[in-house]
Amino acid sequence: MTATENPGLAWEAFGPDGFADRLAVVTGAAGGIGLEAARAFHAQGARVVMVDVNASLLSQAAAGLPGATAVPLDISDDDQVANAFAQINAEHGPIDHLVHAAAIITAKRFLEQDVAHWRRVLDINLVGSFSVVRAALGPMVDRGAGTIVVVASDAGFRGGGGLIADAPYAASKAGVLSLVKSVAREFAGTGVRINALVPGPTDTPLHSTVSSELKQRIAAGLPVGRMGRPDDMAAAILFLSSPAARFVYGSALDVDGGSMLR
């Protein structure tokens, strides 16, 4: 029996050297889910490249992970993305794992929104996701190996009401879910696995403007009795990136404390 035929061997990915010497690129890595994902890969022995638009915070975050590389990058600039990923491949070797967590979250009431607001959110969250996935995917397809995890949101299913997440944010994350499924369909059989992570309400720096009272109300409404933490999401990202998830393909994994029960 081969390793791929033995389900038990898949769990070796979670040993102390489960991702040893593999290259993981994480966007949005200056904080929140992206930073925790970078820490998780680093703890598992991976070589980590951390990407974020905030160069100062990114430098501080990377300093806490010996050997990690910081790459400041505006994902809404397609040329920047293409050049940065070409440089990463040239300097660090082929990318084994991509985690795309970079995004912005906005919370404007619908009648207060304008076209400029919509375009900004979609340019970063949806078009930026396209640019990042495309830049990583091509070389992975050429090699016939690699994993991609794109961080979406439960707002992509339920919509946004303006308190924590608004309509353009929800629309962008719905688009991200469709992007993942579209890529999965087109590139089936290439050896590259792509999936979406769907966090529920998660206490990250993106929610720094949310009052503690509202966070308490949100937590009380969840079956598990608390909001998610970035490390909850990082654990799921490691799973989706590991051989343990070898039969998980084109999926949207809810990690939401039961918020999507329906």
Pair 32, 206: CB distance under 8 Å: yes
Distance CA 218, CA 202 (A): 10
State how far the Cα of 23 lies from the Cα of 46, in Å rounded to an integer: 6
- CA of 19: how far to CAs of 42, 46, 166, 239, in Å? 8, 5, 37, 11
Closest CA to 105 of 202, 237, 220, 238: 202
* Token pair for 220: 């009380």
Active site residue 249: no
Distance, CA of 21 to CA of 69 (rounded, Å) = 14
Alpha-carbon distances, residue 186 vs 89, 112, 180, 190, 192 (angstroms): 23, 38, 10, 9, 11
Q: Are 92 and 114 in contact (CB under 8 A)?
A: no
Task: Name the catalytic one among 169, 200, 254, 259.
Answer: 169
Please list the active-site residues: 169
